[in-house]
Amino acid sequence: MPTAPLPQFPADFRWGVSTSAYQIEGAVGADGRGASIWDTFAHSPGRIADGSTGDVACDHYHRHREDIGLLAGLGVTAYRFSVAWPRVQPTGAGPAHPTGLDFYDRLVDDLLAHEIDPVATLYHWDLPQPLEDAGGWLARDTAARFAAYADLVAARLGDRVTLWITLNEPFVHMSLGYGTGEHAPGRTLLFDAFPAAHHQLLGHGLAVAALRARSGSPIAIANNYSPVRTLGGTDADRTAAAAYEALHNRLFTDPLLGRGYPDGTAGDPSVVRDGDLAVIAAPLDVLGVNYYNPTGVRAPQEGSPLPFELVPLDGYPRTAFDWPVAPDGLHELLGWLHRTYGAALPPVEITESGCAYDDVPDADGRVHDPERVAYLDGHLRAVRAALDDGVDVRGYFVWSLLDNWEWAEGFTKRFGLVHVDYRTQSRTPKSSYAWLRDVIAAARRQSAR
């Protein structure tokens, strides 16, 4: 366990945790919710490691009061949740379904009653199934549908949501959902998935305009970033690393910050129409950074369909997901963003950071997770180091409050500060919860001085 106290953070630094709708809510048939691509995908045999679905997940839809109690006990100043599009528009179109919005309305009020800032993500991968049937994000119309949905949510919650996040990790959604098929909707288009990138970005830009018209709150997008480590010293290795960097880190950042698509990433030119890049580059108030690990890259083998090969990085401890624990990567990444985008980079918030371990209750029912404490300690120090370098980082959200349904991994990966027994739905704060509670309390005491 780390013993040295963490260095001081700025007085207004935001301390938060993140979740997403399909991973925690369950209640998929409640109150008129429509089906999403994840309902379809999870119910397709062979897609999910343990054959599970998000039908019940953490049953948060029915237990949100208890979960808000956990947030209050942790002392966070912000909570990042996502709104399930199929609760608001069960078919992906038409007027708002009021009962679906009621849930988020109550959630937001309960958070505010506990002095917790509501940070709402509009899209964390749960596209209404009827929109997938019409082409999903490969169809340009989905961008317009997304903006219409954003308008409905903002009309109801725009007076109280503190920070909007349009999309969660469009890179991961494009690459795993449309490129390799490990995520919903399960398409395997490889580089022909580019329209799913462009239409998500266009949807983001149109949604920014819709949100601005309804709400004075700042707007962000939450991108997944992974600093690229070049393995091997040949020109071919460096070219491969640059190609991966463009795809993972720049494809969803350059156009947002007014630079258009990086060379070699824009596919079919007919997809990008006149005026689209200006819509996408609508001013952003915050860049959300989701960071888990760096990526090792080298030149591809002969005959590979990809212009790079991804290689595991040696020399780091590993999580239960087999991801390297590399806080230095977060420091490096924040420096890279700062150097690469300069004055165009808006203030940054770390909108996800966390780790999976095989946490099990001991004989007394306690869950001891010293690895997670070490992980968070290291990553918070990395943020502090980036602040010292002059990067404007405004907050840190841990993924995740609860153990939850981890997409293609089902219930096999536990990311929570709070352990969930999926049989009984009983919640047990882990030792990392107590540690973070003390860290936040100390930081808030310091800033109150």
399 binds ligand FCB (CB under 6 A): yes
Nearer to ligand FCB among residue 172 and residue 436 (C-beta) = 172
Nearer to ligand FCB among residue 13 and residue 415 (C-beta) = 415
Binding-site member from 104, 149, 415, 435 for ligand FCB (CB under 6 A): 415
Which residues 215-254 are close enough to bind ligand FCB by CB under 6 A?
Answer: 224
Cβ 226 to ligand FCB shortest distance, Å: 10
Helix (H) or strand (E) holding 220: strand 219-225
Print the binding letters for residues 290-309 with ligand FCB: x by CB under 6 A, - otherwise. x-------------------
Binding-site member from 168, 226, 293, 295 for ligand FCB (CB under 6 A): 168
Print the binding letters for residues 50-69 with ligand FCB: x by CB under 6 A, - otherwise. --------------------
What is the spatial distance between Cα 315 and Cα 199, in angstroms, rounded to a whole number?
Answer: 39
Closest alpha carbon to 24 in 48, 2, 56: 56
Assess contact for 318 and 325: CB atoms under 8 A.
yes
Print the binding letters for residues 328-367 with ligand FCB: x by CB under 6 A, - otherwise. ------------------------x---------------
Nearer to ligand FCB among residue 9 and residue 22 (C-beta) = 22
In angstroms, the Cα distances linking 147 to 69, 174, 203 are 33, 19, 6
Only one of the segments 58-66, 136-144, 166-174, 176-184 lies at the binding site for ligand FCB (rule: CB under 6 A); that segment is 166-174
In angstroms, the Cα distances linking 295 to 151, 319, 361 are 37, 15, 32
Cβ 175 to ligand FCB shortest distance, Å: 11
405 binds ligand FCB (CB under 6 A): no
SS3 350: strand
Nearer to ligand FCB among residue 158 and residue 395 (C-beta) = 395
Strands 286-291 and 295-298: unpaired
Q: Dihedral (C-alpha) 186, 422, 22, 31: value to the nearest 10 degrees? A: 120
Nearer to ligand FCB among residue 9 and residue 399 (C-beta) = 399
Radius of gyration over every alpha carbon of the chain, rounded to an integer in angstroms: 21
Nearer to ligand FCB among residue 200 and residue 290 (C-beta) = 290
CB proximity list for 170: less than 8 A, separation 6 or greater: 197, 200, 201, 204, 221, 223, 252
Closest alpha carbon to 142 in 223, 81, 201, 187: 201
172 binds ligand FCB (CB under 6 A): yes
Nearer to ligand FCB among residue 271 and residue 320 (C-beta) = 320
Binding-site member from 252, 291, 407, 433 for ligand FCB (CB under 6 A): 407
Only one of the segments 164-172, 175-183, 249-257, 311-319 lies at the binding site for ligand FCB (rule: CB under 6 A); that segment is 164-172
What is the spatial distance between Cα 225 and Cα 329, in angstroms, rounded to a whole number?
Answer: 10
Print the binding letters for residues 16-45 with ligand FCB: x by CB under 6 A, - otherwise. ----x--x----------------------
9 binds ligand FCB (CB under 6 A): no
Total site size for ligand FCB, rule CB under 6 A: 12
Q: Is the peptide bond before 185 cis (omega within 30 degrees of 0)?
A: yes
Nearer to ligand FCB among residue 215 and residue 226 (C-beta) = 226
406 binds ligand FCB (CB under 6 A): yes
Cβ 407 to ligand FCB shortest distance, Å: 5
Q: Is the peptide bond before 217 cis (omega within 30 degrees of 0)?
A: no
What is the spatial distance between Cα 164 and Cα 127, in angstroms, rounded to a whole number?
Answer: 18
Binding-site member from 169, 371, 377, 403 for ligand FCB (CB under 6 A): 169
Closest alpha carbon to 433 in 177, 72, 11: 72
Please say whether the dihedral angle defined by the alpha carbons of residues 93, 94, 100 and 105, taken in this order, is positive or negative: positive
Q: Which residues are catalytic?
A: 169, 352
Helix (H) or strand (E) holding 426: strand 426-429
Write the DSSP assignment of 278-296 as a string of letters: HHHT---SEEEEEE---EE
Cβ 88 to ligand FCB shortest distance, Å: 19
Only one of the segments 96-104, 165-173, 244-252, 428-436 lies at the binding site for ligand FCB (rule: CB under 6 A); that segment is 165-173
121 binds ligand FCB (CB under 6 A): no
What is the spatial distance between Cα 61 and Cα 341, in angstroms, rounded to a whole number?
Answer: 40
Conformation bin of residue 32: beta by default, left when phi > 0, alpha when psi is -120 to 50: left
Nearer to ligand FCB among residue 279 and residue 373 (C-beta) = 373
Strand partners, 297: 230, 310
Interface residues with ligand FCB (CB under 6 A) are 20, 23, 168-169, 172, 224, 290, 352, 399, 406-407, 415
